[in-house]
Each structure stands twice: as structure tokens, then as C-alpha cells.
Chain A
Amino acid sequence: MKEVFVRLARCVGCRQCEISCALVHSESRDIHQAVWERPLPRQRVRVTREGSEYYPLRCFHCEDAPCIGACITGAMHLDEDVGTVACDTTRCVGCWMCVMVCPYGSIRIHEGQKVALKCDRCPDEDEPACVRGCPTRALLVKERALVV
């Protein structure tokens, strides 16, 4: 199973992962056109900082995910084929229980559509956009077993 890993020392806080994430979730996938789209494309990753260290925070796709347990409609579910925690936005009613219970603060509110917004690990891409967009290669996608 593939997983996105972070090499902490390499993150310089440039937030290019945020831009890449929003772009891959835009209509045009072009920076010069995406800024004119309405609604604006949303990113699913956010760079946070603790002291002098930066961390690109995204969904960890927990094996035992509290958000799935808390979801009252069953919108939040485990996609077993790819090992991701996914949100079926057609079933999401915007109760924000998932947002409350996520220990990492990785789930956000899509204000326009009133649905939970989270990392989908770019199912249509060879490599998640945040990984591809990272200029220092702080983000890596690897087989979990190989790293551990």
C-alpha cells in the first residue's frame, strides 16, 4: 500500500504543495486560469509551523479513522482498494462531526458546498499533486512496508 511520507528537515514552508493541491482540484489545472475560476479551487493540504519546523499537514488516511466512526451518514468511508479514507460528498450533510474528531485537524469545511473537504490522494494522478509539486522533495510517496 502506498503512503505519502514527509521528510521534516526538508520542508521550507514554501506552500507549493498547497498551490499544487488546489490546482489539481481546479477545472483548468493552469495557475493563470485557476485564479479566475468561481468557485475558487480548494486545497486539501496546509503547511503548519511548530517553532522553526514546518509541516505540510494532510489527511493521514488512518487505518482506524475516528472520522469514519463519527460520520452519521456513512459518507466518510475506507476505500479498501487504495487504502484511503474517502468522503462521498453526495452523502455528506455538513454536520462537521468528522472535523471535530480528527486528531490532526486534517478535515476542513468546504464553505461553498457545505461538505467535508479532505485529501483524496489524487486518485487520477500517478503521484499526488503535493508530492509532485514539492520543490525540495520533502514529500515522498512510497510503499509503506519499504519505509517502515
Chain B
Amino acid sequence: MGRLEGRTVDPAALEMLKRAEEQGLETAWDRCRAQEPLCGFGNLGVCCRICLQGPCRIDPFGEGATRGICGAQDYSIVARNLIRSIAGGTAAHSDHGRHVALTLLAHLDGQAPDYRIADPAKAEAVARRIGLNPAGKTPQEITREVTLAALRDFSRLEEEPCTWVTSTVTPGMTEKFEECAIMPSNINGAIAEVMHRSTMGVDADPVNLIFGGLKSALADYAGCHLSTDLTDILFGTPRPVRSYANLGVIDPAKVNITVHGHIPLLSEIVVDVAREMEDEARAAGAAGINVVGICCTANEVLMRKGIPLATNFIAQELAIMTGAVDAIIVDLQCIMPALKTLCECFHTRLITTIPFSKIPGAYHVDFREEKAKESARRIVKLAIEAYRERDPARVHVPQVKNEVVAGFSLEAMLEVFASVNREKPIRALVDAIEEGEIRGIALFAGCTNTKARHDEGHLTIARELARNDVFIVATGCAAGAMAKAGYMTSGAVKEFAGPGLTRFLERLGKASGFDGGLPLAFHMGSCVDNSRPVDLAVLIAKEMGSDVADIPFVATAPEAMHEKAVSIGAWAVTLGFPTHVGVIPPVYGSSLVTEVVTKIAEDVFGGYFILETDPMKAAEKLIEALNYRNWRRKYSTASLDEAMVAE
């Protein structure tokens, strides 16, 4: 394997990496090499920078310091660092949700006229779920009540549980969270508590610290879930949609606008405005305007508007290197500051849009809800202006793109399931599990990371699980990897699915008359939309009369990178998912913390972390976890029957 081949399995990314090298353009992979060897203390989580006496670090080989200046042991330091990372993720997801809520409120108050309530039915469904009575109320009234309830999850001062936790999990899970004292009552409060208890001289008990982290993780879950709900109300609940993915979606004949980041408040409007401004683009000599996406903003607009996905996180620079991107509009999270230097090598305009997410030297168009269309027009104008400066000699777009079927919100998925069971759509999946036609379900989530070969983990594990009849759902950059590789098509079913999974998908596809057949992997949205697979799991658990901890449902983040992945991983384990992570998080510096997250967690929550860097071994372990749950379920049902016979 060549050096560049070792960096990615994505043929489009590889082509661009070669070109980058020819042109002397720097990528994340080059910078990763310059960082080697990574700091051993940091890598193990035993570096503490929390107070000004330090930095302190524990000698992992036991010869130097065994405690920090304050006397903190390795386990306290590792646990404190870990939960601060969870708090970082929680802040990111929940602030995203809060931003959507405030936009909805502004709209309801008549201050954001460019938005509309796109899905009143969702507003009503959410209202019912959280115990509000929507009868006789207008969609505006219902949406306002739901939005205010969501904002109360950020601001509640009483010790009452977060609505978006209790209303979305089973009663058994709620009870467990109360019992362990990890039920958050207030998202912001949970983050503050983590920062407080992990500051110098507060909590030193590693297990207590971790439980505090889990409280924040559940707050993250609430933030994710309310974000999904409110975004659906504002822009519509996704429905199956066809599009394309990978760098080949960049069209050299058109003005290419790339939307990148996570929060779709502006990018949704940019998509609309771009359609209105086609004439201006044609006047500049282009064939039109082509909006494409990167990261989770891509997933958001792919799910709802069928906008093509250019690439996922780690390859973001490669899109610019095609020389055909005229503007890259970024909102927040996962945006490499390196984009600025790179854009300077081309004509590409880098445009930041969020007041607290700026990059030195970039254009900044201050996005305001009340003037959303105006902001979007300014951005599209900048892109058209840049197009005139494009150097055709530097354009190189890899001719690699794959079809993708996306848009599987839970609602859309249940519609498919309803074709075989109208009364109880979820039975379609539960029956298949109980009859052993499919082994279980796997959620692919998380980022891409230079520590792994780009996309290899996602695709290898997906192939292995599909071959073993595991139903696959995906979100975030994991979904991006699968979309780019063509795994979100019915063709992939023929290529990779085992006999049971093939039968199941074909039967469903036929019954629902799904155009072109169902895909191998179901795209459930952005990373914040990991709430959707949880809804699926909770629905299955309720149907099976158990909790998520009992059903054959696993999660995997083969190339996790962001703090958000840490918080999602933490709540996935807390909700009861065996959760694989393909890069070793900074916990190995404490054997105690490592044992807690990989083993003891299972005794308490049913979920636990599987830390495994080899994708093939990871697939094996995930299948083992599914087998174990299936075996346990059968065993417990059988013993129950026996007991009844004995009676």
C-alpha cells in the first residue's frame, strides 16, 4: 500500500490527495504527520491543566509522579478530563438546539419572516409526546408551546427531569436514571455542574465524576433530540430523497456553493435563494448554481432537500482543492481553520456566518434570523463574484460520485414498515429480529479521523455486519462515508447483504413499492439526529416489552474525533447500547476508568464501550454483542415460559 493509499479508501479523496501533493498543498494528513509522535501523556488522559499549579502529569510507566500537585491520582485526572470533554459535546449539541428554538420563537413573534412552520403535524406529534394538549390550537400556538417547553429544558431551576429525556425513553430507563442520580433537570446546569465538580479541589472520586459526566451526556441527548424535533418543525421532517454523493457532485460548469458545518438555519435558506438567483449566475457565464454540502450541514440539506453531499469531515480541504468551489459557507463545528490558508491559494471565498464562530481572514456575513434571505443573497452574490475569478486551468474534479437514497427520519422509516404491518409498523422490524431473519440493528455514527484510514472503518464494519444480516442505520460523517461509497443504494444490498437481510429489505421494498428498492444503509440524518435511531431503539424496546439494554441494537463510531462524539458515545452507553469506538479515547492512563467504561458500565446500564482500532475485530465484537443479546432474550423468554408451565 502506498503512503497516500494508506490515508483513505475513498477513490475521490485519494485522487485529490495525489493532486495536493503535486501542487504542494497541505492537508490534515500532512499536519497530522507533523504532530507525530502525539504527546503520550495527553494521549492517555493523564495530563491535568485544570489549575495554575500545573500542568501536572502522571508517569504512565510508574517511575515518576504518581499524583498531581494536589494529590489527584491518575483516575481522578482521567475522569475529570473525560467528563469535561462530554460537557464540551453537550454544549455544542444543545446550543445548536437552543439556536433553532430561538429562531422558531423569533419567527412566531413575526421577527423572522423568511422562515415558516414547515411541518405542523410534527409540532402536534411532539406536543402530544411531551404531554401538551394540541386540540383546538393553531400550528403557531402548538409550536410556541413546544418551543417554550424545549427552552425550559435549558432553564428549569427546580429539580424536575428534562422533558426531552423522560418523554423519549422507556419508563424503565427513566427510573434507572433517577436511581443513579444522573437525570438532568437543566441542560445548561448539567454542563455547569461538570465544569464545577471537575475544577480544582472538588470531585476526586472517579466513579462519581463519571456519573456526573453521564448526567451531562443525558443533557446532550435531550439537546440533540429537541434540536431534531424543532428542526423538523421548522424545515420539515425528512422523507426519502434521491441524490448523489462524493466530490464528483461539484459541477465545473456551475457556480459551486459549499455549505459546511452543522446548523441548517442559513444553509436551508441559501438553497432556496440560490434557486432564485440562477439568472445572475448565468449572467456571469455559469450554467447555474450548484449547492453541495460537507459534514452535517450537508446531511441536513441532503435529508430535507436532496442537496448532494461533496464529502465528509476529514476531506473538507480536498473539496476546495478541486478549484471549482466558488464559496464555502460555514456555520459551526468541525470547520478546520486550515480552510482559510487553502482558500487563499484559490479564488474560493470562505464565509463565516455565526458571530461566535469566526476565522481570521475569512469573509464574515453576520447571519440574522430576521434578515435570513438578505444574508443568503449576499453570500450567493459573493459566490457569483468569485466564479468570475475562477481559473479553469486549476479546476480538477474527480469523476467519482455515487447515488444515495437518504431522508429516513423515523417517520419515513415507519411508513415503509407500515406497508407490511399497518397497525403496528415497528412489528416489521421486531418480527424480523424475533424470527432471526435479521441479527439486529447497528447505528453507524461519528466522524472521520486522521488516526484511522479515512472511511475504512465505516465501510469495513458495514460490509461485515451486512453480511451477517445486521440492519444498518447511519448518521453524521459515518453516513457520509457510506453515501460516498454507494452503500446507500439497493445495489449495495445485492453486493453486501447476507441472505436474511436481503430477504427482509426486498420484502419491505416490494411491499412499500419503494422506488428503486431500499438501500443497504439507512441515512437517518446529521450527528445531532442521533436522536432518531434512539427513537427507533426505544420503539423496538417498548414493542418487545423491554428496555434498550435488552434489544440487539449496537452503535459504532469507527473514526470518532469530536467532543460531540464523546458525549454521544457516553449517552449511547447510558441508554444501553454496546458502543464501539475505533480510536482509543484518552482513558487508558487509568485502568480504573478504562474498566468502568468498558466493563462496569454494562452492569449498571447494559451499555458499554468496545474500544477496538481494528475494523475486522470490531465487527466481530459487535456481532458477538448482538448474538449475546439475542441469546439472552431467547433464554429469558424460554425460562419465563417454563415458569408459567410450572405454575
Q: Is B584 an interface residue (CB 8 A)?
A: yes
**Complex CA–CA separation, A32 to B591 (angstroms):** 11
Q: Which of B40, B59, B589, B591 contacts A23 (CB 8 A)?
A: B40
Chain A residue at smallest Cβ distance from B37: A133
Residue A84, interface by CB 8 Å? no
Interface string of B47-66 (1 = CB under 8 A from A): 00000000001011111100
Chain B contact residues: over half helix, strand or loop, or mixed?
Answer: loop
Interface centre among B41, B57, B591 (most CB of A within 10 A): B41
Quick check: A32 and B584 within 8 Å, CB to CB?
yes
Per the 8 Å Cβ criterion, residues 14-73 of B in contact with A are: 37, 39-41, 43-44, 57, 59-64
Closest chain-A Cβ to B617's Cβ sits at a distance in Å of 14
Question: Is the beta-carbon distance between B44 and A35 smaller than 8 angstroms?
Answer: yes
A132: CB under 8 A from chain B? yes
A16, B584: Cβ atoms closer than 8 Å: no
What 1/0 mask marks residues of chain A from 112 to 146 whose CB sits below 8 Å from any chain B CB? 00000000000000000000110100000000000
In Å, the complex CA distance between A20 and B40 comes to 8
Which residues of A lie under 8 Å from residue B363 when comparing CB positions?
none
**B504 in the interface (beta carbon within 8 A):** no
Number of interface residues of A (CB under 8 A): 20
B367 in the interface (beta carbon within 8 A):
no
Report chain B residues within 8 Å CB of A40: 61-62
Query: Do B61 and A41 have beta carbons less than 8 Å apart?
Result: yes
Label chain A's interface by main secondary structure. Answer: helix
B310: shortest Cβ distance to chain A, in Å?
33
Which residues of B are found within 8 Å of A58, using beta-carbon distances?
A: none
Is there a chain A Cβ closer than 8 Å to B588's Cβ? yes
Query: For A41, what are the chain B residues with a Cβ–Cβ distance below 8 Å?
Result: 61
B384 → chain A, closest Cβ, in Å? Answer: 45
Q: Within 8 Å CB of B60, what residues of A?
A: 19, 31, 34-35
A55 → chain B, closest Cβ, in Å?
15
Give the residue of B61, B64, B588 whose beta carbon is less than 8 angstroms from that of A32.
B588
The answer to whether B39 touches A43, judged by C-beta atoms less than 8 angstroms apart, is no
Q: Once the chains bind, are B57 and A15 in contact (CB under 8 Å)? A: yes
**Chain A positions within 8 Å of B44 at CB level:** 31-32, 35
B63 touches A132 (CB 8 A): no
Minimum Cβ distance to chain B for residue A24 (Å): 11
CB of A10 within 8 A of chain B?
A: no
* B39/A42 in contact, CB under 8 A: no
A132 to B61, Cβ gap below 8 A? no
A99 → B minimal CB distance (Å)? 15
Contact indicator A16/B63 (Cβ below 8 Å): no
> Would you call B588 and A132 a contact (CB within 8 A)?
no
In the bound complex, what is the Cα–Cα distance between A19 and B37 (angstroms)?
10
Bound complex: CA A23 to CA B60 (Å): 11
| Residue from B41, B62, B589, B591 in contact with A15 in the complex, judged by beta carbons closer than 8 Å | B41
- Counting CB contacts under 8 A, is A14 at the interface? yes
- Known A32-B584, A35-B588, A35-B589; judge A19-B41 contact (CB<8 A): yes
Contacts A31-B44, A32-B584, A35-B44: A16 and B37 contacting too (C-beta < 8 A)? yes
Question: In the complex where A32-B584, A35-B44 touch, is A22 in contact with B61 (Cβ < 8 A)?
Answer: yes
List residues of chain A with CB within 8 A of the CB of B588.
31-32, 35-36
B39 closest partner in A (C-beta): A16
Find out whether the CB atom of A43 lies under 8 angstroms from the CB atom of B43. no
Contact A19–B62 (Cβ < 8 Å): no
B641: shortest Cβ distance to chain A, in Å?
44
Whether B40 pairs with A19 at a CB distance below 8 angstroms is yes
The residue on A at minimum CB distance from B585 is: A32
Within 8 A of A (CB), among B589-609: 589, 591
B40 and A16 within 8 A (CB): yes
Among A14-53, those with CB < 8 Å from B are: 14-16, 18-20, 22-23, 31-32, 34-36, 40-43
CA distance A123 to B589 in the complex (A): 29
Smallest CB separation, A12 vs chain B (Å)? 11
Least Cβ–Cβ distance between A33 and chain B, in angstroms: 9
B61 touches A43 (CB 8 A): yes
Collect the chain B residues with CB atoms within 8 Å of residue A15's CB.
Answer: 41, 57, 64
Taking the closest CB of chain A, its distance from the CB of B553, in whole angstroms, is 27
B146 to A: closest C-beta gap in Å: 45
Give Cα distance in the complex from A20 to B57, angstroms.
Answer: 15
Are B57 and A132 neighbours in the complex by a CB distance under 8 Å? no
Chain B neighbourhood of A35, CB < 8 A: 44, 60-61, 588-589, 591
Taking the closest CB of chain B, its distance from the CB of A119, in whole angstroms, is 15
Name the CB-closest residue of A to B613: A32
Docked-complex contact A31 and B63, CB < 8 angstroms = no
Given A16-B37, A40-B62, A133-B37, also A31-B43 (CB < 8 A): yes
Which chain B residues border A32 with CB–CB below 8 Å?
A: 43-44, 584, 588
Chain A residue numbers with a CB within 8 Å of B63 are 42-43
- Residues on B with beta carbons closer than 8 Å to the beta carbon of A22: 61
Cα A14 to Cα B55 in complex, Å, equals 10
- Complex Cα distance A36/B61, Å? 9
CA distance A40 to B66 in the complex (A): 14
* Nearest-neighbor residue (CB-CB) of B587 within chain A: A32
Question: For residue B61, which residues in chain A have a CB less than 8 angstroms away from its CB?
Answer: 22, 34-35, 40-43
Q: Provide the bound-state CA to CA distance between A35 and B40, in Å.
A: 11
A-B contact pairs, 21 of them (CB 8 A): A15-B41, A15-B57, A15-B64, A16-B37, A16-B39, A19-B37, A19-B39, A19-B40, A31-B43, A31-B588, A32-B43, A35-B60, A35-B61, A35-B588, A35-B589, A40-B62, A42-B61, A43-B61, A43-B63, A135-B37, A135-B39
Contacts beyond the supplied A18-B64, A133-B37: 13 A-B pairs with Cβ under 8 Å: A14-B39, A16-B37, A19-B37, A19-B40, A19-B60, A20-B40, A23-B40, A32-B588, A35-B44, A35-B60, A35-B588, A35-B589, A135-B37
- Interface residues of chain A, those whose CB is within 8 Å of chain B, are 14-16, 18-20, 22-23, 31-32, 34-36, 40-43, 132-133, 135
On B, residues with C-beta under 8 Å from A are 37, 39-41, 43-44, 57, 59-64, 584, 588-589, 591
Those 10 A-B pairs whose CB atoms lie nearest each other, nearest first: A19-B40, A32-B584, A22-B61, A40-B61, A35-B60, A133-B37, A32-B588, A40-B62, A31-B40, A31-B43
